[in-house]
Structures are given as structure tokens and as C-alpha cells.
Amino acid sequence: MLSYQHAYHAGNNADLHKHALLCTVLQILTRKDRPLTYMETHAGKGVYDLFSTEALKTGEAAEGWLALSEAERVALPAGYIETVKKMNSGATSPLYPGSPLLAAHILRAQDKLRLMELHPQEYAGLEKIFTDDKRVQIHKRDGLEGVLSLSPPESRRGLVLIDPSYEVKEDYEAIPAFMEKLVRKWPEACVLTWIPMLPAGRHEGMLENLKKTFPALRVFKAEWAKPGQGMYGSIMVGINLPHGV
């Protein structure tokens, strides 16, 4: 579906969770000199204004990024806070980076980014940001199909971020199946998958499915949760993550 726009949710607690882990993994992967390829299935537009009409309508950023103290922000992975301050000329708002911009900041000249985005407005935003970055290729295509088509990359080392909106309930079944195909085709890939925790409880079945799909692999799981209605938490599942995460 193309109705979802992340501007309403940028900088919320789920973003903090996802982006902190993403930056941690990328910083560990880039300790080795060999080049790597970063791919995303649902890249978004890359930059979000936390004081925009969309963000203010939900108030999620006010409970997430904007609620953090300076000490809490400093405790985040270096690449995370550095990206935010670079965007805001040393400040920490109003602009907030999506995962493509965080990855681009941490990755090096020898690395590559392959970003999938089907939504016309989000795609246009990505193109504008990365016009002069020769490391980046942006594909206006289905994210799961696109990543599979481009895998494995020439470098073989790399990370894939899977981050759909889950507006379509079939995603809970499609993502484990996609991950199985991806790891079979690109065994060296590190894979990070974001999963929302919603009252319907579909994440529980998805986690069980992932356990059955990858019984022989080390599966990393991190979650946060708080009481409330709607999305009350999120889970990050990692496959083949580097030592030290």
C-alpha cells in the first residue's frame, strides 16, 4: 500500500529503538576495511521535520526524540547523534534523519547504498537528498523484490534493513519468507527487521515463524514496550549480526 507516510511517526520511540541498533551494527561493520553494501526495503524520504504539521498532529516525536535529555542523546551511538547535529548545524532539532541518512553518514567512501522506495513522494525526497552521492542508488520498486534482485552484491559483506509499515497484515507472513530467501541467496548478509507490537498480537506469530525459519542461526531480539493504546512497543530481530552488537 502507498498510503503510509512516515512523517507522522518520525522521531517516535520506535524510531529511536530502530535507529540506535542500526547505527550500532553499522559502526561495528565499518571497523573492517573491506567494503560493504547497505540495502533497505522501505527507505522513506530520508529527512523529517519534527515540527511539521504531520509530526505535531500525532505528537509521537514529542514523546520520543524531543523528550530525550541531552545526556540521553549523548549516550546514543556516535553516528546517530552526529548525523542529527550535522543536519541542524549543531542543534538536535527540528530535522530528524531517516535510516538512509544515518547509514550514509556512517558508511565510508568504499561502501554502497541501495535504497528501495515505491511511494512517489518519499522517492522524490530521497532523490533530492542523495543527488550528489555516488555511493547511492535509489530504486522505485517493491522493496522485497528489489533487494532480492540485487542480492548478493559484489562486495558480499553487507546489511539489509527490512522496515515495512505493516499496514497490510500479510506482511507478518511475507517478511519471514523473504528473509529465508534472502539469507539463502546472500548467506553473508546481516539482516535487521523491525516489527511493531500491536494489540492484535500478530508479532507473536511472526516471531514464532522466524524461530522455525532460522533454527540453526543466531537470532538477536531486542524490544521496548510501554502501556498504552495502539502501538505499544516494537521489536528488532537480527540475523547474522556481527560480534559485539
| 171 catalytic per annotation | no
Contact predicate 88/95, CB 8 Å: yes
Q: Which one from 15, 132, 142, 163 is the annotated catalytic residue?
A: 163
* CA atoms of 142 and 98, how far apart (whole Å): 19
* CA atoms of 174 and 154, how far apart (whole Å): 26
Q: How many CA atoms lie within 13 A of 97 on its CB side?
A: 25
C-alpha cell at 78: 556516535
C-alpha cell at 194: 523491525
Residues 6+ apart with CB under 8 A from 51: 93, 94
Contact predicate 27/79, CB 8 Å: yes
Beta bridge partners of residue 145, listed in sequence order: none
Q: How many CA atoms lie within 13 A of 125 on its CB side?
A: 20
Residues 6+ apart with CB under 8 A from 133: 104, 113
Helical packing angle, 99-106 and 120-129, nearest 10°: 20
* CA atoms of 116 and 145, how far apart (whole Å): 9
Residues annotated catalytic, as ranges: 163
